[in-house]
Structure 1
């Protein structure tokens, strides 16, 4: 049953329903280091509502525990009622939480505001968890892969000498971001899974599971890397007299929240570096 009160104005009711949530920008292939922001070009900042006039609501006469009741769902474009979060630090009912919150059925008809008895709802009516998951994904900030090689390539590497390749562990590891509305929090987690290496010398790309293996002191420098490359020609004729070595990391993305979770579209990050390759020359001397 709704208790009508002329003291509750339309402005107060409307303000109570709006929850601000930042919508970030997806970092993929440039924009953060060498990452490029290409998946979401909208400016940061958006509004996420916990229930607007016209959204389907929980039936009136609910039990107060989020289960609803026997009435009809409100909804429709002309419906003046919606569910607004109730301010305060009231604890959840016994057996409830941590997800969920207190909401009151709120209406405004002909300038007369009314608000029902607060009820605990496991999640705001009409909450689009999948959309929250996409928002959380858009907030992921993924580092560009830090390319490591041995030999380091300063000033150059030699033709037919195996080059070990790997991604620095500092830029390899799971990253997470969240998105929330009152009572619902969704977490997106990106995990690096593989690296695709391009060598710039016209040879075929190489995809390696994991970040690759770093070269350890004492390893035979002539030994081939488990994930590496051996250049067979000089870079003297290449632009800038160097080949462009590229590492493209693929990140698997999942989300978790109320009701479980699922996978989302993967992301990629890319870095490049110049590698000069020289032809080894025999040194011939003469005795005097």
Structure 2
């Protein structure tokens, strides 16, 4: 193994989400993900790790050297992405990159001859999946009703409920390190309706069925509700109709995949319900 001194002391490397730099500590057996879960600014660092002996050769060629073994025991080694402008070997690419085993021992840095790896060493695919999940931008449900909520609906008249198809579509996001991309997909599956009048929540598979003009106005919806009392005594004289959509989340990567925790999105509208008045005409 060719060894040469390194200029500078920045030898501890992490895999940035942007894929601009990559490393894996050789004395760790697994990767680590540290993500700030703020949706506004998800910031993540991934340490891609591989098992190995800090004094070993990794994926390089040749012997590790016959220097002071005591120094190797205290060395801090990682795989560093180098020569990013160098073209891949014949028949390789565009995935992958040139990596060199880089070590720091007693303040002296050494680096092995770069070798081509088809993917970053020891990438934690499930960790990348969590990063991709944090990047999902899901659409809040757009509530539709018939009769329309303006100016009000009447008691004992069936109300059809559904989510606008524009907001009922799958979304995907990715996270990458050199040579590896993980994709997550979120798919809306069901809606839980909170009717606001004190009745039990209603859960419907799918977005619900839109009302069409050829439907009997008094027909009950496959996913709807009939209010039996006025909202006159409710705050602001209206019930709060809330739709909560559950999204199933799956991920896929090189030779692997799985299911992640589901996500939800919510929207709320005001539902004014009026009491119909019956007029009886007397005849003489």
Task: Please indicate, yes or no, whether the TM-score normalized by the shorter chain is above 0.5.
Answer: yes
Q: Extract unaligned runs of 5+ from structure 2.
A: 19-35, 65-71
Distance (Å, rounded) in 1 between the aligned partners of 2:210 and 2:83: 54
Change beyond 3 A, Cα 1:70–1:110 = closer
Out of 151, 159, 162, the position equivalent to 1:163 is: 159
Deviation per residue, 1:25-76 (Å, 9 max, x gap): xxxxxxxxxxxxxx9358632333456xxx6359627478xxxx999xxxx9
- Inter-partner Cα distance in structure 2 for 1:203 and 1:41: 35
Would the aligned equivalents of 1:50 and 1:181 in 2 still touch at CA under 8 Å? no
- In structure 2, the partner of 1:225 is 221
Given that 2:101 and 2:111 are in contact with CA atoms closer than 8 Å, whether structure 1 keeps it comes out as yes
> Conserved in 2, the CA contact under 8 Å of 1:178 and 1:185?
yes
- Structure 1 match to 2:26: none
Structure 1 position 284, deviation (Å): 4.9
Deviation at 1:206, TM superposition (A): 1.3
C-alpha separation in 2, matches of 1:46 and 1:276:
45
Q: Aligned match of 1:100 in 96, 99, 102?
A: 96
Cα distance in 2 for residues equivalent to 1:194 and 1:77? 56
Provide structure 1 residue ranges, at least 5 long, that are not aligned to the other structure. 23-38
CA RMSD of aligned residues (A): 3.0
Report the counterpart of residue 119 of structure 1 in structure 2.
115
- Residue 3 of structure 2 is matched in structure 1 by 4
User: Which residue is 1:56 aligned to?
Assistant: 51
By how many angstroms is 1:13 displaced? 4.3
Query: Shift of the alpha carbon at 1:189?
Result: 0.9
Alignment of 1:104-253 (within 5 A): 104-253=100-249
Q: Distance in 2 between matches of 1:216 and 1:70?
A: 76
Give deviations 1:56-106, integer Å, cap 9, x for gaps: 359627478xxxx999xxxx9943221101232444445544543221111
SS in 2 for 1:192: strand
> TM-score with structure 2 length normalisation?
0.79
Give 1:112 deviation, angstroms.
3.2
The answer to whether the 8 A contact 1:57-1:125 is kept is: no
TM-score (norm 1): 0.78
Partner of 2:42: 44
Q: Secondary structure at the match of 2:9?
A: helix
Please give the alpha-carbon distance, in whole angstroms, between the structure 1 residues aligned to 2:170 and 2:239. 30
Aligned pair count reads 257
What is the deviation of 1:163?
Answer: 0.6
Correspondence for 1:28: none
